[in-house]
Structure 1
Amino acid sequence: MKALLKQYKLVIKFILTFLVVYAVLTIGYNLYLNLSDGSKFYPDYLTNLVAEQTNSLLNGIGYNANILPHANEPSMKVIINGKYVARVIEGCNAISIIILFLSFIIAFAGKFKTTLFYCVAGSIIIYVFNLFRIVVLSLGLYHYPWRKEMLHNVIFPLLIYGTVFILWMIWVNRFSKNTKSHA
């Protein structure tokens, strides 16, 4: 048993680190959501921010867009040219995806400064990519509402998780000290 633990030490360390970081960040994020009262920023600050930025981008490219709080659920409606096309819910703010990304990067940590920089840069890339994803999805739903299932459930999750996977592969192949020491 001792030989197996020694042989798989890096794998066990990766799994435990990943799970601990993921649990801590998820619990912290859930505490944030539970403490967010939604009185100033509905339904919470980060989801509201994503909705506001989506609105700004849509208006910036020439659409007459508005966002409104949803009356029946904690979300923001995205309205393009008077047509309700999408809703921005808590899951649309990319925080859960960023938590997953950070957990992997920290579990495969490299040098402290490099890891910190990559965590910040990767989180920004994911956030911005997600924002553009929501804008394009909203436009897709506005112009092609019959493609809703394909756009929302297949193409855009594939793109956002594909982006995270590519960022992980870049990290593992270029910066992680765990892979360099065994190359």
Structure 2
Amino acid sequence: MSPPAPAGTTPPGNRLLYRFILVAAAMYLGWFFGYEQWLARDGRLDAALCAHITKVSVAALHALGFDAAVAAANDRLVTMNGQSAVIVGVPCNGLVLYALFTGFVLAFPGPWRRKLWFIPAGIGLIWCLNILRVAALAINHHYAHQSLDFNHHYTFTFVVYACIFGLWMLWARRLAVPARPALPASTPTGAVSA
């Protein structure tokens, strides 16, 4: 049993929790005022992300040997064999997922050196998953249209959020913990260390 904390001090566990809550709240306010009140209303960032996801998903489908294209009249529409397959809308462009992932890692305590490589690596993985998701939805639409709605709303959502949760757990359990110094060599039995 640990001794009680002196009056007027916050136990270390609570201090980390309060820090997490304050940083998360500040990031939420930044998201609300920066994105919801400005960037979302402007629409250019979302439009560019949607068009980018569409273009790269079509390239992935081409690499897999499918006859896919970006529709001439709509740069957010993936076509398969000349037929409409998937429209990449604003909720599906990945921006919110990047922000959620980044916000958690920034709010959670941990070494900044690791955050500087882990956040871009995680965003890159989420981006790849989103590309694969859009490509898989286009294939799903082409071969089994009746299961598209279920897979869009449940299967792929579960896979993407499970991956993000796995990244968060990797951060919280392995990477956020500072490296421990090497332990000194043990002393032989019966020996006294100075």
TM-score (norm 1): 0.82
Q: Corresponding residue for 1:106? A: 106
Match for residue 35 of structure 1 among 14, 36, 42: 42
- Superposition deviation, residue 89 in structure 1: 0.8
- Structure 1 gaps of 5+ residues are none
Q: Which has the larger radius of gyration?
A: 2
Does structure 2 conserve the Cα–Cα contact (< 8 Å) formed by 1:58 and 1:64?
yes
Does structure 2 conserve the Cα–Cα contact (< 8 Å) formed by 1:69 and 1:76?
no
Find the aligned partners of 2:137 and 2:30 in 1 and give their Cα distance: 31
Q: Corresponding residue for 2:83? A: 83
TM-score (norm 2): 0.78
Runs of 4+ in 1 over 2 A off after TM superposition: 2-9, 25-38, 68-71
- Structure 2 gaps of 5+ residues are 1-5, 181-194
Once the two structures are superposed, residues 59-100 of structure 1 have per-residue CA deviations (whole angstroms, 9 ceiling, x without a partner) of 2211111222777xxx72211002211111112221101100
Find the aligned partners of 2:8 and 2:95 in 1 and give their Cα distance: 36
Identity level (%): 23
- Superposition deviation, residue 23 in structure 1: 3.0
- Superposition deviation, residue 25 in structure 1: 3.7
SS at match of 2:39: helix
Once the two structures are superposed, residues 29-84 of structure 1 have per-residue CA deviations (whole angstroms, 9 ceiling, x without a partner) of 4433433459xxxx62111111110111112211111222777xxx7221100221
Greater share of residues in helix: 1
Q: Corresponding residue for 1:55? A: 58
Once the two structures are superposed, residues 79-124 of structure 1 have per-residue CA deviations (whole angstroms, 9 ceiling, x without a partner) of 1002211111112221101100011000113111111111111111
Find the aligned partners of 1:26 and 1:116 in 2 and give their Cα distance: 24
Pair 112,80 (structure 1): closer, same or farther in 2 beyond 3 Å: same
